[in-house]
Amino acid sequence: MLMTRERLTARLRIASCLAGLVFFAGASSGAAEGITLEVFGGSSLDQLAPRQAPDEQKAIQTAVIDGFLKANPDVAAVDWDAQGPQGEGVQRLMTARLGGQEIDLVACSAFHTNGTYVRRNLLMPITDKLGAFKDRIDAAALGAFTISGEVYGVPISTLSTSTIFYNIDMFEKLGIALPKTYEDLVAAVPKFQAAGVIPLLHQGANAPMWPMWYFETFSQASGDPIGKTQSNLAGTTKFTDAPDVEAFALIKKWVDDGVLSKDSLAVDMDGMRSAFATGKSAMYYGGTWEIPSLQTSVKDFKWGVFAFPKMAGTPGAPKHGGGADNGICLSSSIPPEKVDAAMRFVEYLTRPEVATLYLAPEQPIAASIAGVPQVEEGYAKDLRADAFPNTVKFLDWIWPSEIAVATSSAIAGIVGGTTTPEEAAASLQSVYDDLVAQGQWPPK
């Protein structure tokens, strides 16, 4: 069971009181002259328990830091500077580095770690510094911070994955068993149509959400979505290779078979959620970030989850986009004499009792650190059984942004019937070739 808010508050108060005693004792012993660790977060979300109310978030982060200082008297302070909007995080970090600001640790999102920070040499690899505490970290979550075999950060957040949400009551009423394969979904289409229900609706007007479909189909078409994407970006393979084209063809099949509605092109996030909540659509595909909305908007029926299914004839197993959103990384500019203390702080954050302080309030379905209490409702157990073990990092954490935009546009064309799979793949290769020709890829 998750701890109650009252128990959490009591624990925070105890931690703060203990830390206060340590500060008082430390002042007379010269601890204030010790190391100060500077933690930089590009945005206000790059801190511990970022989804909590500001006062609660601050109390949680203070309790965690105070506990570390108590256990490490050679460290006088941990200054955690995280502010500003999420979209300006990279620029804020670059500006700070160019301005000579001291940065020892970076509160690093997996998205920016993969897409920008490592490519710009802003982080130090820590592969050989994880030691025994590596076993506390979820392997898939650590994979989100692993680039070309090197670990650049330790995940310290809840985990996300991708899944299909479905109306349990409607499935039972129409006599539809829980689909185990794509063919099972296709077989159910006539029953949905006879009932006047849209089988599956997507937020297609929200273009950045289309690539999630490609993450799924490319995993099955290629068998190695991360490796193939990296080789495409290295120029040793192409976006027009057979598996890449097949990934678009598999998306087209969802439309041609009547499972994915073409109406999705005109539907935004709110429209998708509303159609599901009112029983107009039986399913939608998205990430675990959808669950809070479902809990508040769905009142008249039970909902559940099942993993994006295996499609016939594909060589790869189903893999679902997701991972740990946030981590803690070592800055490439950290002074050598601070590395040991910084890694002790990273290790401290992975202790189950510490991680529980900052992760349990987030109500995790799954967490990057072992031993953290998790939600025990049926949907959460289903996700942990089926989706999370087969979760890999989102491909748009690896792609340059131009490829992500081109993929969104290509899939919209596939769904609308104006683009063939071959044309879609060619459009990605064209964007890549232009980036190379203009000297924008590979990144300097």
Domain spans of the chain, in order of start: 5-159+323-382, 162-321+400-437
Q: Smallest Cα–Cα separation from 388: which of 366, 372, 371, 370?
A: 366
pLDDT at 28: 30
Query: What are 161's two structure tokens?
Result: 């994955």
Beta bridge partners of 163: 286
For tokens 């970006």, what's the residue? Answer: 233
Answer yes or no: are the C-beta atoms of 373 and 390 closer than 8 Å.
Answer: no
Query: What are 10's two structure tokens?
Result: 């009591």
Which phi and psi (to 5°) does residue 38 adopt? -100, 115
∠ Cα 223 225 227 (to 5°): 100
Answer yes or no: are the C-beta atoms of 136 and 370 closer than 8 Å.
Answer: yes
Which phi and psi (to 5°) does residue 43 adopt? -145, 175
pLDDT at 16: 46
Which phi and psi (to 5°) does residue 268 adopt? -95, -175
Dist. CA 63–CA 78, nearest whole Å:
12
Dist. CA 388–CA 375, nearest whole Å:
14
Q: Over the range 313-339, which residues count as b (16 or more CB within 10 Å of their CB) and which as e?
A: ebebebbbbbbbbbbbbbbbbbeeebe
pLDDT at 5: 43
pLDDT at 21: 34
Dist. CA 411–CA 252, nearest whole Å:
9
Tell me the pTM: 0.85
| Domains 5-159+323-382 and 162-321+400-437 agree in fold | yes
Q: Is the dihedral of CA 336, 128, 105, 400 positive or negative?
A: positive
Name residues of the chain where pLDDT drops below 70.
Answer: 1-32, 444
Three-state SS string over the chain comes to CCCCHHHHHHHHHHHHHHHHHHHHHHHHHCHHHCEEEEEEECCCCCCCCCCCCHHHHHHHHHHHHHHHHHHCCCEEEEEEEECCCHHHHHHHHHHHHHCCCCCCEEEEEHHHHHHHHCCCCCEECCHHHCHHHHHHECHHHHHCCEECCEECCEECCEEECEEEEEEHHHHHHCCCCCCCEHHHHHHHHHHHHHCCCEEECCCCCCHHHCHHHHHHHHHHHHCCHHHHHHHHHHCCCCCCCHHHHHHHHHHHHHHHCCCECHHHHHCCHHHHHHHHHCCCEEEEEEEHHHHHHHHHHCCCCCEEEECCCECCCCCCCCCEECEECEEEEEECCCCHHHHHHHHHHHHHHCCHHHHHHHHHHHCCCCECECCCCCCCCHHHHHHHHHHHHHEECCHHHCCCHHHHHHHHHHHHHHHHCCCCHHHHHHHHHHHHHHHHHCCCCCCC
What is the CATH code for 5-159+323-382? 3.40.190.10
Q: Over the range 345-359, which residues count as b (16 or more CB within 10 Å of their CB) and which as e?
A: bbbbbbbeebbbbbb
- Residue type for 343, please? M
Of 3.90.79.10, 3.40.640.10, 3.40.605.10, 3.40.190.10, which CATH number belongs to 162-321+400-437?
3.40.190.10
Dist. CA 325–CA 307, nearest whole Å:
20
